[in-house]
Structure formats: structure tokens, C-alpha cells
Amino acid sequence: MIKLALLDVDGTLTDKTRLISTKVVETIRDVQKSGTLVSLVSGNVIPAMYALKTFVGINAPVFGENGGVMLDADVEVFFSMEKPKRFFDEITGKGMAGNLMTNQWRLCSMGYFPKNGSEDEIISLSGKHDLEIANSGFSWHILNRGQNKGYALNYLRKRYSLDLDEILVVGDSFNDIPMFLDKVKKAVPANAELQLKKKADYVASVPYGEGVTEILQKISRF
């Protein structure tokens, strides 16, 4: 039986223009009323996660910066800003990347957009600095090693003393793979990358938030 659903935001609850599905907001409230915990994990910043938690009414802690920061009653930062910021300064200084407006709210990662076809070069440079690059399909992130959605999953598992098969994860893109663990229940909206569809226990018939609504309405069957 699923006790906790951990959901990605962009491309999962939202469409490709980042509009959140009003249907999925209602469905999240419904499953919470029937006793399921719901958490969100995103590459986005904590102020955005604060707004989602507050205005949607999410009942479990939520995570920003790919799992690096948690918002519950207070904000808890699990990783350091030092290395991501130094690397960000290096690649922007060399003209390889540009700044994201949301960086002013980041606590342990940096966002960027690659310039002049430097995508692969940045990824290869990041390895030398013991950093990881994640691309959500919406933006690029510089992260500390181990700072990923699997970290958030593990935190929630311990906090609520859950078995892996009592957790449902839903995501659409490559930065969701660290939470797509073997024993965890995995579902994807129809727009998900093929690699995630192959790992999923269930693929929704429709994309984005409407697909997640379909998944959450079947949560008792997982």
C-alpha cells in the first residue's frame, strides 16, 4: 500500500509551458484527505516550493534544488553552496554559460544556461570539480555530488519509517532517475522520457498533470 507519493513538478504537475494542472491540485488534496502523504521535489528554489506547499496545501515536507534543501516548518539545507558557486563563476567567466534569475534564491546549487554550444564541455569540467550537472529539460543545474532526488526520497523514507514499496514516485525527465529505485513504485505521465517509461510500473495514457491525476486516482492499486 502506498503511504507517500513523491512528485516532480515541472513537466509532471505542469505542462511544457509550466502551467500547473488545476485538476492535479484537486487530486492531490483528495489523496491527502484519504491519508496519503504527498511531497514535491524539484530543481526549483525554496521560495517557489514554499508557494506550492502553502497554496496547494502539501502535507509532507517539500524539497527544492533537486533535493538539496527541504522546507518543513523551517528550511533545512543539506549541501554547501561553495563548490557550485565557484564552478558557476568559472563557466560564466569563460563565457560558457549565462545566469538564471532564480540564482538569487539558491542555497546549495546554481542554475545556468549553456552558451556557444558548451553543454558537453561544462559536464566534463564539472566532474573534475566533484560536481554533477542535472538538466530537467527546463533548466541546467550545478549540484554537489549526491545532491539529487534520491536524497530526498531517502530522507522521507527514514523520517516516516517507510519501506521502499510504500513509496510512489512520479517524474518525467532524467533528473528523476535517482528516485526511480528498484523497489519503489514508479509511474510517469505520457510525456515522460522513454528511459523513464521503461523503468515505470505504470505509464499514464495522458501527459502532464492530467496524467498524474490518472496515476493518483489509481494509487490504491500500486
184 near 169, Cβ under 8 Å? yes
Site size for Ca ion (CB under 5 A)? 5
Of the pair 38, 91, the CB lying nearest Ca ion is at 38
The catalytically annotated residue of 8, 10, 172, 176 is 8
Query: Shortest Cβ distance from residue 67 to Ca ion (Å)?
Result: 13
Contacts of 75 (CB under 8 A, 6+ apart): 46, 69, 107
- Shortest distance, CB of residue 147 to Ca ion, whole angstroms? 16
Which is it for the CA torsion 196, 99, 66, 40, positive or negative? negative
If you count them, how many residues does the chain have?
Answer: 222
What part of residues 65-104 is at the interface with Ca ion (CB under 5 A)? Answer: none
Does the active-site annotation cover 182? no
> From the CB of 136, what's the least distance to Ca ion, in Å?
5
Please, which residue, 10 or 214, has the CB nearer to Ca ion? 10
Residue 11 or 211 with smaller CB distance to Ca ion: 11
Among 7, 8, 88, 189, binds Ca ion (CB under 5 A): 8
Quick one: which of 7, 11, 106, 153 contacts Ca ion (CB under 5 A)? 11
Indicate the residue among 48 and 125 with the shorter CB distance to Ca ion.
Answer: 48
Binding residue for Ca ion, selected from 2, 4, 5, 10, defined by CB under 5 A:
10
Task: Tell me: does residue 64 bind Ca ion (CB under 5 A).
Answer: no
In the complex, which residue's CB is closest to Ca ion?
A: 11
- Residues in 134-193 at the binding interface with Ca ion, rule: CB under 5 A: 172-173
Binding status of residue 44 toward Ca ion by CB under 5 A: no
* Only segment of 3-11, 55-63, 157-165, 211-219 that touches Ca ion (CB under 5 A): 3-11
Helix (H) or strand (E) holding 202: strand 202-203
Report strand pairing: 110-114 vs 131-135.
unpaired
Q: What is the DSSP string of 14-78?
A: B-TT-PBPHHHHHHHHHHHHTT-EEEEB-SS-HHHHHHHIIIII-SS-EEEGGGTEEESSSEEE-
Q: Count CB neighbours of 59 within 10 A.
A: 17
How many Cα atoms occupy the beta-carbon half-sphere of 126 within 13 Å? 23
> At closest approach, how far in Å is the CB of 142 from Ca ion?
17
Q: What is the DSSP string of 60-87?
A: S-EEEGGGTEEESSSEEE-S-SHHHHHH
Residues that bind Ca ion (CB under 5 A): 8, 10-11, 172-173
Positions marked active-site: 8
